Structure 1
């Protein structure tokens, strides 16, 4: 990793270049790339929907008048199988997007979602739902292409903001599912989701192909300029961005014999051994490890059970039920994602991640300390995962004690949504070089979701063996190590071009 002196050496050049870009690029010039980013990110609305759909689906399937009856084991598979299937899609999409293009693969990603909702709609037994959820998970993995596409059509000034839209649209999908789940039957919701995918598919036809892909993988200057012209209407900005794209390293033509194929393989291996690839790859792997070890996703998955365990004055006004708890957390994530996208154009990644990590340390330690030392708290008893309704008597926790703990848990989710739950995904589109972004991006997403699957699976057993307060204190220690890692290894990417970031790792 480069030291601080090297970073300072190039800082003046970065500042001068970005001043010029800021002066030339007006908000009007950013409208088309913002529109294209929103259309591409609309794919991940389906990811949020599929993450939260089981919360609506399972209670309705358990009803006595349901024509599909499920037991506890089947319910757990319906909930988790999406996450298990997702890595297969993210690993598949990398080579495909490099070969056929970012836009075509965005269109392809809509097909699994359409198939999934069709299977849901005509489901007559649980096996239909299993297959539908597997297909949906595969499609969610394919949606990695949206991050890559947005990173390559975005101006350096707007790229941080547009990449954070990914989290905004995921949380929007969660909110839509929870809101519709209040009143609608799951089969009617399936039809609505099918229509949403159709709208996304139709919209994707109107956005341009990635100019970087056209240059790097097709060496097609004419089509690349056409894409850039669609994105930028101002001539000065257009020419500046065209020259920047033309400086990208380009792939060699297709080898015609075995010798040339071997040479190309050696070149590819040499590329992966370069510091511009392996350094950001390691940074991303460790960042995703700390993201999942922070258990922010676990808190979201088991929010209702955690709130039931904590108790508090919320129980007396009937607010803690499955749907409201999900909406509450989904709203926090959605609002914080919007705030993050608005300020990320001005505030660097490092600062945002530090604020997020420090807030998580303080809030997790506070909730752990509070639960362990509250005189009337039963937080050290085993976590109960039963089929009791949320209106039944909760553990003997004083109103004030439980309310404070609930607020601190929500604060933990708030701070995690401000950085750790969002920025690592966007770094895939910034740190990795264009030539390996498709393939390695899929690998990074697969690793992240495998870690998530592991954490979500072991969480109930861990919460039965260890008190909830001790778990949160342990999370604060993990987050401290995350801060140390951020300080020494995470580079700043705000306003830097892909060439600038590559030079930093060189």
Structure 2
């Protein structure tokens, strides 16, 4: 495939691709709401911040299950989407994502027992899992190489926008049921937007619709003439032809070359798969995922005299700033540098939080502010680098034929990893003590920096074909 430098498009191309990704951005807003739901509801039903006149209560055990079930059931949605993606296409699959989301929010509003909360968490998990493969594959196939990292990073911004909207509504209303009811407007709008979203040109080529694929590509590159995007379209034809080679006439002679599942054993698939799993592990560990559902308790333990609800909203605002900074800088700085820089900062801050919390106990009014500020720094830095870049890599590093399966599979495993981190965080915290968790996670992150220094390639401004060749 030719280098992206041969694709000469103007500002209209950026606008057209951003417009085409509007549906995925609304999905990210919804995901941000779904992810923050447990944090808000757990805070509203437990501890000193418990909402008055609320009949529901949650024990510590119920909190851990409610906060983590979402991540346990994401693989179910991922498996279903991986099966349906090639058949229905990205757009229809992304529309289906909204159905369990809508159902969960309605059930939240009427919930009167813990079992209903569990069911809502399961439905949200299926929605989150189902969206991962279609969204990642669609972004990877629609965007031109020089914009892929930037536009994919923008999804992280919209994810945090969703969380910020939800936390601000709750901070104002202090009524979590009303908050989830208002949030139903997001999937409603998303469905309308997705009905107007074009299919991926590569998916259309794979379905034997080259004329429609070329017209779609022309629109996505700024409504240019066919000649203007002929080089890129020719490269797409070569790329999809290599990915979908004809099956031998003798079915018994079919090899793993013609099988999406068989390609999982190829170096260009299992090598990036291994790298991405390690990346997601450290991204989750150093971005505070395990603390997420318990943020009210975490901020209370820090001891700084702040309004917890608005502090959570402020932390989400910092995440939005971090994500926006990623969008503006990833093309110039590259994903490798941002990964090493932000992971090292987050790791150092975590180690400092742990050491200050354990050993500097004679100046609580000062240290309470220091550890809170350090934690908020990690919120900004993780959303600036390691979190969005992990999901950008997901859209880039797998060959086309296995992309639908690997995107869904990696998304599922990433969320299963998150489930275990959240579900067993309370027990781990009790075992090693609260501040020691930061020291342990931060030290692990420093080892992660060493690993990525040697094994993480630079994918920014590389074509999908060039990235695939690197892993062979």
Q: TM-score, normalised by structure 2?
A: 0.90
**Which residue of 1 is the match for residue 446 of structure 2?**
480
Spell out the pairing of 1:35-184 with structure 2 (5 A cutoff): 35-58=19-42, 60=44, 63=51, 65-66=53-54, 69-72=56-59, 73-123=61-111, 125-144=113-132, 145-184=134-173
Q: 1:202 aligns with which of 179, 189, 192?
A: 192
* Contact 1:51–1:174 (8 Å) recurs in 2: yes
* Contact 1:90–1:141 (8 Å) recurs in 2: yes
Q: 1:229 aligns with which of 194, 214, 218?
A: 218
Distance 1:212 1:407, change over 3 A: same
Output the CA distance in 2 between the equivalents of 1:331 and 1:366: 23
* Contact 1:219–1:251 (8 Å) recurs in 2: no
**Which residue of 2 is the match for residue 355 of structure 1?**
341
CA distances 1:310-343 after superposition (whole Å, capped 9, x unpaired):
32xx31xxx242x123212211111101111121
Q: Report how many residues are paired.
A: 460
Spell out the pairing of 1:178-193 with structure 2 (5 A cutoff): 178-184=167-173, 185-193=175-183
**Which residue of 2 is the match for residue 238 of structure 1?**
229
Spell out the pairing of 1:490-501 with structure 2 (5 A cutoff): 490-501=456-467
**Which residue of 2 is the match for residue 402 of structure 1?**
368
Spell out the pairing of 1:283-294 with structure 2 (5 A cutoff): 283-294=275-286
Output the CA distance in 1 between the equivalents of 2:470 and 2:151: 23
CA distances 1:37-92 after superposition (whole Å, capped 9, x unpaired):
232221121111111123333455565634x5344254544333222222211222
Q: Report the 3-state secondary structure (helix = DSSP H, G, I; strand = E; otherwise coil) of the residue aligned with 2:385.
A: coil
Distance 1:37 1:428, change over 3 A: same
Spell out the pairing of 1:310-321 with structure 2 (5 A cutoff): 310-311=302-303, 314-315=304-305, 319-321=306-308
Q: 2:294 aligns with which of 256, 278, 302?
A: 302
**Which residue of 2 is the match for residue 441 of structure 1?**
407
Spell out the pairing of 1:307-456 with structure 2 (5 A cutoff): 307-311=299-303, 314-315=304-305, 319-321=306-308, 323-376=309-362, 398-456=364-422
Q: Report the 3-state secondary structure (helix = DSSP H, G, I; strand = E; otherwise coil) of the residue aligned with 1:302.
A: helix
* Contact 2:321–2:380 (8 Å) recurs in 1: no
Gaps of 5+ in 2: none
Distance 1:206 1:124, change over 3 A: same
Output the CA distance in 1 between the equivalents of 2:310 and 2:286: 24
Q: 2:203 aligns with which of 213, 219, 227?
A: 213
Q: TM-score, normalised by structure 1?
A: 0.84
* Contact 1:89–1:138 (8 Å) recurs in 2: yes
Gaps of 5+ in 1: 1-12, 377-396
**Which residue of 1 is the match for residue 267 of structure 2?**
275
> How far has the Cα of 1:469 moved from its partner?
4.0
> How far has the Cα of 1:234 moved from its partner?
2.6
